[in-house]
Amino acid sequence: MKKLVTLMLAATVLAAPMAQARDDHRQPDRSRHVAVEKKVVVKKHRWSRGHRLSAAERRHMRDVRDYHRYRLSAPPRGYRWVQVDNDFLLIGITSGIISSIIAAR
């Protein structure tokens, strides 16, 4: 009889955590879930003639050396063509002032 009671007590002690773990999956999760939505802002520049570009802005632009490929005229002395997204800007090499803007297709 003592062996039977000891066996039942041991089974109860071992089965209780397993039963509780199974019940936890059935109940909705009580922990708090917070959804964070990040808003991404893409800043598009509206270029204008006479705008002075900083040296940092000019470093991030792509030089256009084969301007005939894009049907651009040859830049005058002291100017160069740069491409920013779909825009071509004719800027002064030393001053960084935009003298012409052409939107690509």
Burial class (CB in 10 A: 0-12, 13-18, 19+), 63: exposed
Within a domain: residue 77?
yes
Within a domain: residue 84?
yes
Q: Which amino acid is at 95?
A: S
Render pLDDT for 40-95 as a digit per residue (tens, 0 to 9). Answer: 655 556 778 898 888 778 777 888 899 889 889 999 999 999 988 788 999 998 88
Query: Per-residue pLDDT for 2 more than 90?
Result: no
Q: What is the pLDDT of residue 20?
A: 65
pTM of the model: 0.54
Within a domain: residue 67?
yes
Render pLDDT for 9-32 as a digit per residue (tens, 0 to 9). Answer: 777 777 767 666 665 555 565 666
Q: For the chain, what's the residue count?
A: 105
Within a domain: residue 46?
no
If one counts the domains in the chain, the total is: 1
Within a domain: residue 15?
no
Give the range of the structural domain holding residue 88, as residue numbers without chain letter: 55-103
84 neighbors 93 (Cβ within 8 angstroms): no
Q: What is the pLDDT of residue 99?
A: 92
Tokens 């773990």 found at = 21
Name 100's bridge partners: 90
Neighbouring CB atoms inside 10 A of 98's CB total: 19
Helix (H, G, I), strand (E, B) or coil at 103: strand
Q: What is the pLDDT of residue 25?
A: 56
Within a domain: residue 41?
no
Q: What is the pLDDT of residue 74?
A: 93
Within a domain: residue 3?
no
Within a domain: residue 97?
yes
